[in-house]
Amino acid sequence: MQNPRDMLITLPNPHLRQRSKRVGVITKDIHKIVTDMEVTVIDWENSRDHEVGVALASVQIDQLFKIVIVRNDYDNKEDRTFKVFINPSITKYEGELVEDFEGCLSIQDIYGKVPRYPKIHLKAMDIEGKPFKLIAEGFLARVLQHEIDHTKGIIFIDHIRDLKDAFFKLNSEGNLEQLDDKTVQNNHILW
């Protein structure tokens, strides 16, 4: 098996900016991609002192399919199980946009204050190919919007590129420190 650290792609890899394909049939290969995604999140988390791996889109392991996994209990680091969303699609957004912090496994140590809808309606298939619908609120709604963006080739920084005071860096103590605008705009890795 490939080392999980070798599977995770990060900016400036151009594949992160590509649109993912719909999954037509759930095959053994799709099951393997999901397993690789889960292993990658846990391995990443094990390598971090102050962060929890919450979710991943398959493009982040260089598999351009509309597959997203979200940790079942992101408040409990011991729970290492995930819900699978295949071909996820948001059918409705509700509420006023709310800004909150987001990070991404594919952008090391950079966080941003990103506007997202507080409530979404979503449809997807599970790993067995059964369709389901979900209404997500709060943090889960934010996570799903972030991951579904990945399937469209959009990264959270794209939403805040022109906003001053929206970017932060995680320091060695696990605290967020604001980055100055010039440092962000001139960052060849991000853009």
For the chain, the domains span 4-185
**What are the residues whose beta carbons fall under 8 Å from the beta carbon of 150, sequence distance 6 or more?**
16, 20, 57, 59, 60, 68
Quote the pLDDT of residue 118.
98
What's the predicted TM-score (pTM) here?
0.95
Q: What is the largest CA-CA distance in the chain?
A: 47
Closest to 82 measured CA to CA, from 45, 37, 31, 114? 37
Quote the pLDDT of residue 1.
57
Which class does domain 4-185 fall in?
alpha beta
Quote the pLDDT of residue 5.
67
Quote the pLDDT of residue 77.
84
What phi, psi does 20 have (nearest 5°)?
-85, 160
Question: Strand pairing partners for 180?
Answer: none
Q: Which residues of the chain have pLDDT under 70?
A: 1-2, 4-5
Q: Looking at the annotation, which residues are catalytic?
A: 147
Quote the pLDDT of residue 45.
92
